[in-house]
Amino acid sequence: MRLVPNVLRGTGALLALQLVARPALAQAAEAVASTGPAASDFQRMLLWFLLGTLALVILLIGLLTATLVVRLRPQLRRLYELPTVRPTWSGRVLGLAVGDATLVRGEVRDELLDHDYDGIHEFDNDLPPWWKYSFYATIVFAIGYLSYFHLTQAGQLQGAEYAAEMQQAALLVSADADDSNKLTTYAALTAAADLSSGKSLFTTNCAPCHGMNGEGKVGPNLTDEYWLHGGEINHVYKTIKFGVQGKGMVAWKGKLSGKQILQVSSYVLSLQGTKPAGAKEPQGEKEAPAKPVAKL
**In CATH, what number is assigned to the domain containing residue 281?**
1.10.760.10
Residue pLDDT, tens place only, 176-190: 656 777 788 889 999
Where a domain ends, among 71, 96, 131? Answer: 71
Query: What are the strands, taking DSSP E only, across the chain?
Result: 112-117, 120-123, 226-227, 285-286
In a domain, 88, yes or no: no
pLDDT at 223 over 50: yes
Q: What is the dihedral of CA 272, 274, 278, 281, to 10 degrees?
A: 30
Does any domain span residue 158? no
The β-bridge relationship of strands 112-117 and 285-286 is unpaired
87 versus 157: the higher-pLDDT residue is 157
Secondary structure letter of residue 56 according to DSSP:
H
What's the pTM? 0.42
Same domain, 32 and 118: no
Rounded CA-CA distance 286/10 in Å is 84
Domain assignment of residue 91, yes or no: no
pLDDT at residue 126, rounded to an integer: 74
Indicate if 217 and 274 belong to the same structural domain. Answer: yes
* pLDDT score, position 4: 44
pLDDT digits (tens, 9 = 90+) for 231-249: 899 999 999 999 988 888 9
Question: What is the number of domains present in the chain?
Answer: 3
**Can you give the pLDDT at residue 212?**
93
Structural domain of 135 = 112-151
Chosen domain end from 42, 71, 100:
71
Nearest CA to 213 out of 289, 265, 273, 271 is that of 271
| Inside any domain, residue 79 | no
In a domain, 234, yes or no: yes
* 202 within domain boundaries: yes
pLDDT digits over 71-110, tens only? 887 887 787 778 777 777 777 777 777 777 776 776 666 6
pLDDT confidence of residue 195:
93
Query: In terms of DSSP bridges, do strands 112-117 and 226-227 run parallel, antiparallel, or are they unpaired?
Result: unpaired
CA-to-CA separations, 234 to 68, 111, 152, 262, in angstroms, rounded: 76, 85, 50, 9
- Tell which wins on pLDDT, 9 or 52: 52
Q: Of the residues 130, 151, 172, which one is the last residue of a structural domain?
A: 151
- Between 54-63, 74-83, 152-161, 189-198, the lowest mean confidence (pLDDT) is in 74-83
Residue percentage of the chain with pLDDT more than 70: 78
The pLDDT score that the predictor gives to residue 9 is 56
In this predicted structure, the answer to whether residue 219 has a pLDDT above a threshold of 60 is yes
The string of pLDDT tens digits covering residues 272-287 is: 988 899 888 988 888 8
**Angle at alpha carbon of residue 120, lines to 118 and 125, rounded to 5°:** 155
- Comparing CA positions, the residue from 186, 183, 212 lying closest to residue 265 is 186
Q: Please state the φ and ψ torsions of residue 253, each to the nearest 5 degrees.
A: -65, 130
